[in-house]
């Protein structure tokens, strides 16, 4: 199991440990909800500072270059986390949201997180493939690893989201 899968499942385990299901839906402990809000707010601040610090270098080195798959994946990976954090900030701080809406937002956040990790790993796999001088064997191995790791991750993700929906009914 790769680190992305482990991190996602660990995060899901934390969420399931601190959330109880009842007839009215999710019941969060006050401490868990407060901790979740602080973590999301701190993550948002960290991403904002990181983007602000590296924006001049990004503009001069990335934005000026011609478009290719590497540039597209880099920008997608870099800014997908902003949408992920905005979504997490919304569903952890909105008290008036319905249970169905929270469920959809949580599922969308999980998909964004897993997709962001998958995109980052595609970039790393492309670098390994380039360092191998475009070896077909290395490329085939990387494709098998990627499909195996992330196929498993998306199957687990779909199972968890489906089970959460069944628990809500």
Would you give the end-to-end CA distance of the chain in angstroms? 32
Cα–Cα distance, 18 to 2 (Å, whole number)? 25
Range of the domain at 91: 3-168
CA quadruple 75, 78, 83, 87: dihedral, nearest 10: 160
Here the contacts of 158-166 (C-beta below 8 Å, separation 24 or greater) are: 160/12, 160/110, 161/107, 161/110, 164/103, 164/106, 164/107, 165/103
Number of domains into which the chain is organized: 1
- Three-state helix/strand/coil letters over 77-140: HHHHHHHHHHHHHHHHHCCCCCHHHHHHHHHHHHHHHHHHHHHHHHHHHHHHHHHCCCCHHHHH
Mean pLDDT of 124-131: 96
Q: For 77-118, how does the pLDDT look when each residue is reduced to its tens digit (9 = 90+)?
A: 999 988 888 888 887 777 666 778 878 888 888 888 889 999
Judge contact between 149 and 5, C-beta under 8 A.
yes
Position 121 scores a pLDDT of: 95
Cα–Cα distance, 84 to 37 (Å, whole number)? 14
Mean pLDDT of 32-48: 77
Single pTM value for the model: 0.70
30 confidence band (pLDDT: 50, 70, 90): low
Cα–Cα distance, 60 to 55 (Å, whole number)? 9
136 confidence band (pLDDT: 50, 70, 90): very high
Q: For 52-69, how does the pLDDT look when each residue is reduced to its tens digit (9 = 90+)?
A: 999 999 999 998 999 999
């Amino acid at each position: 199991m790769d680190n992305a899968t482990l991190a996602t499942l660990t995060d899901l385990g934390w969420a399931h440990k601190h959330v109880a299901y009842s007839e009215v839906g999710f019941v969060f402990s006050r401490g868990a909800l407060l901790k979740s809000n602080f973590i999301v707010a701190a993550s948002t601040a960290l991403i904002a500072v990181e983007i602000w610090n590296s924006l001049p270098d990004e503009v001069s080195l990335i934005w000026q270059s011609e478009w290719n798959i590497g540039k597209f994946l880099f920008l997608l990976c870099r800014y997908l986390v902003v949408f992920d954090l905005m979504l997490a900030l919304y569903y952890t701080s909105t008290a008036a949201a319905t249970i169905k809406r929270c469920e959809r937002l949580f599922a969308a956040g999980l998909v964004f997180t897993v997709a962001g990790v998958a995109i980052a790993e595609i970039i790393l796999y492309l670098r390994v493939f380039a360092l191998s001088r475009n070896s077909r064997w290395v490329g085939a191995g990387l494709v098998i690893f990627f499909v195996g790791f992330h196929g498993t991750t998306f199957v687990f993700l779909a199972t968890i989201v489906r089970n959460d929906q069944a628990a809500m009914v």
